[in-house]
C-alpha cells in the first residue's frame, strides 16, 4: 500500500460562485463525504498545509491579477469574467489551493509521501498570466510547476491534462520552454477554443506542447489508446523529474457540460498508467489536482477510482476486473483524432 496524501480543507467549500453556477461546492462535498467514512478515508494521509504567498503566485501571474483577485476578499459576490464569479472567501480558497499543490510537491521531493491528490477548489487550468477565466482564479498547477523549477531546481516537469476543456492557461504558461512538457486531451472545438493539434509550442518549447483534440463521444477505450500510444511513449522519451495531472471529471459519461463517455474504469486506467510511469521514471513523484467535473456521481466515483489506483488498493464498488484491464491495455478502437495527433507528434518524438 502506497502512502497517498489527500489535500482537503473546508475552506475550499467556501468558494461559492452562486446558486446556479455549475462549479459548486457540492462537487467537492460529495467526495469529502466519502472520505469521511472510516473504511475509505482512514487509509490516506492528510497533511497540514498553508496558503501560497503573493510572491509565489506571482511566479506565474501578474501582480495586477493577484491584486484584482485579492480585492474580492470579504465581498459577497463579484465577477472576474462572465463565467468566473467570487464570494467572500474565494481569494483565501484560491491561495490555499495553490499552497496544497506546493506542499504536496515538497513532500514528494522529500520522500514523505508516495503520491498525492489535491482535492481543491477553485480549479485552475484556464487562468492566464494576467486574467482569471473559465471558473479559474489562479492556475494552481502552473504556479506549482514554476515553484518546483525555482525551489527544487526541476528541469523537466510533465503536466498531463485530461479535463474536458483545454488547459489554455497552462499551455500558454510554458509554450516557449522545453522544461515543461504539456500534454492535453480535450473536446474540440469547444471552450476555450484553443488546443488545436497544430499548437505544439514555439522557440525552445517547440514539440513540448502535445494536443489531442477530440470531437466528442470518446470513452474508456479511446482514452486508453491515447495513454498507451501517445502519453506513455512520450513520457519515456522526455523522462520527467515529476508528473502533475490536471484531473477533470467532466469527461465522465453523463457530465452535463461535455460529450465524453469515460467511466470510473477509464479514470482508474489513466491513473494507473501515470502512476506506473512516475514509478518508472521519477521515483514515483506524481501529484493529481482537481480541475472540472459537474456530474456529482461522476465526481464521487471518479475520485475514488483515482485514489484507489494511486494507493494501489481496491475501494469497494470501484475498480476493474482483470478482463477489462487487459482489454484497455490492448485497446484498438478507431480514433481518427488520435491518429492525427500521433502523426503530428512524429515530427518531434520517435513514436
State which H helix or E strand residue 38 sits in. helix 38-41
What value does the mean pLDDT take over residues 10-17?
A: 98
Question: Given a cut of 80, is residue 191 above it in pLDDT?
Answer: yes
pLDDT at residue number 315:
82
Closest by CA position to 171, among listed 145, 206, 195, 196: 195
Q: How many CA atoms lie within 13 A of 340 on its CB side?
A: 13
Exactly one of 125, 126, 166, 186 is catalytic; name it.
126
N-term to C-term CA, the chain: 33
pLDDT higher than 60, residue 323? no
Q: List the domain range (segments joined by +) for residue 331.
A: 4-345
Task: Confirm whether 350 is domain-assigned.
Answer: no
Phi (first) and psi of residue 176, to 5 degrees: -110, 20
Average pLDDT for 245-252: 98
Question: The C-alpha cell of 105 is what?
Answer: 510537491
Instruction: Tell how far CA 260 is from the center of its chain.
Output: 17
Specify the number of domains making up the chain.
1
Name 314's Cβ contacts closer than 8 Å, sequence gap at least 6: 308
pLDDT bracket for residue 6 (50, 70, 90): very high
Name the band, by pLDDT with cuts 50, 70 and 90, for residue 324. Answer: confident
Distances (CA, A) of 44 to 2, 218, 234: 9, 32, 31
What pLDDT digit, counting tens, does each position of 130-174 carry?
999 999 999 999 999 999 999 999 999 999 999 999 999 999 999
Q: How far apart are CA 297 and CA 303, in angstroms?
A: 10
Strand residue runs (E) in 209-306: 209-214, 242-247, 286-290
Query: 260: closest CA among 226, 307, 288, 286?
Result: 226
Residues 269-276: what's their mean pLDDT?
Answer: 97
Grid cell, residue 37, equals 467514512
Q: What is the pLDDT of residue 313?
A: 86
CA 175 to chain centre: 18
Residue 15 annotated as catalytic: no
pLDDT digits (tens, 9 = 90+) for 87-130: 999 999 999 999 999 999 999 999 999 999 999 999 999 999 99
pLDDT for res 322: 59
Note the pLDDT of residue 221: 95
Query: Which SS3 state, helix, strand or coil, does residue 4 take?
Result: strand
Under the banding of pLDDT at 50, 70 and 90, the label for residue 27 is very high
- The whole-angstrom separation of Cα 17 and Cα 25 is 9
pLDDT category of residue 316 using cuts at 50, 70 and 90: confident
Instruction: Label residue 207 exposed, middle or buried (CB < 10 Å: 0-12, 13-18, 19+).
Output: middle
- Residue 285 sits in a domain whose CATH number is 3.40.800.20
Q: What pLDDT is attached to residue 321?
A: 59
Asked if residue 333 lies in contact with residue 222, where contact means CB atoms within 8 angstroms, the answer is yes
pLDDT tens column, 45-92: 999 999 999 999 999 999 999 999 999 999 999 999 999 999 999 999
Q: What percent of the chain clears pLDDT 90, i.e. is strictly above it?
A: 94
Amino acid at each position: 500500500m502506497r502512502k497517498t496524501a489527500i489535500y482537503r480543507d473546508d475552506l475550499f467549500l467556501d468558494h461559492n460562485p452562486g446558486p446556479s453556477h455549475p462549479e459548486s461546492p457540492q462537487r467537492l462535498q460529495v467526495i469529502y463525504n466519502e472520505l469521511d467514512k472510516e473504511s475509505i478515508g482512514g487509509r490516506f494521509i492528510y497533511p497540514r498545509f498553508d496558503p501560497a504567498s503573493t510572491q509565489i503566485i506571482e511566479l506565474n501571474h501578474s501582480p495586477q491579477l493577484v491584486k484584482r483577485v485579492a480585492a474580492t476578499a470579504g465581498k459577497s459576490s463579484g465577477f472576474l469574467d462572465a463565467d468566473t464569479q467570487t464570494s467572500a472567501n474565494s481569494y483565501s480558497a484560491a491561495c490555499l489551493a495553490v499552497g496544497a499543490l506546493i506542499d504536496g510537491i515538497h513532500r514528494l521531493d522529500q520522500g514523505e509521501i508516495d503520491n498525492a491528490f489535491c482535492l481543491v477548489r477553485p480549479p485552475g487550468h484556464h487562468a492566464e498570466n494576467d486574467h482569471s477565466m473559465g471558473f479559474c482564479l489562479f492556475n494552481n498547477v502552473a504556479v506549482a510547476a514554476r515553484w518546483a523549477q525555482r525551489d527544487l531546481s526541476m528541469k523537466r516537469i510533465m503536466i498531463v491534462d485530461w479535463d474536458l476543456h483545454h488547459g489554455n492557461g497552462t499551455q500558454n504558461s510554458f509554450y516557449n520552454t522545453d522544461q515543461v512538457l504539456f500534454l492535453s486531451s480535450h473536446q474540440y472545438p469547444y471552450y476555450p477554443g484553443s488546443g488545436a493539434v497544430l499548437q505544439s509550442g514555439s522557440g525552445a518549447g517547440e514539440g513540448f506542447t502535445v494536443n489531442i483534440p477530440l470531437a466528442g463521444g470518446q470513452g474508456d477505450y479511446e482514452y486508453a489508446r491515447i495513454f498507451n500510444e501517445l502519453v506513455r511513449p512520450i513520457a519515456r522519451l522526455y523522462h520527467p523529474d515529476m508528473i502533475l495531472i490536471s484531473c477533470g471529471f467532466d469527461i465522465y459519461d453523463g457530465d452535463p457540460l461535455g460529450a465524453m463517455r469515460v467511466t470510473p474504469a477509464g479514470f482508474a486506467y489513466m491513473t494507473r498508467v501515470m502512476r506506473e510511469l512516475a514509478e518508472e521514471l521519477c521515483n514515483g513523484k506524481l501529484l493529481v489536482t482537481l480541475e472540472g467535473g459537474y456530474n456529482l456521481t461522476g465526481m464521487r466515483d471518479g475520485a475514488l477510482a483515482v485514489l484507489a489506483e494511486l494507493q494501489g488498493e481496491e475501494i469497494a464498488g470501484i475498480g476493474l476486473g482483470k478482463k477489462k484491464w487487459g482489454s484497455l491495455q490492448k485497446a484498438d478502437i478507431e480514433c481518427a483524432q488520435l491518429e492525427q495527433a500521433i502523426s503530428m507528434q512524429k515530427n518531434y518524438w520517435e513514436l
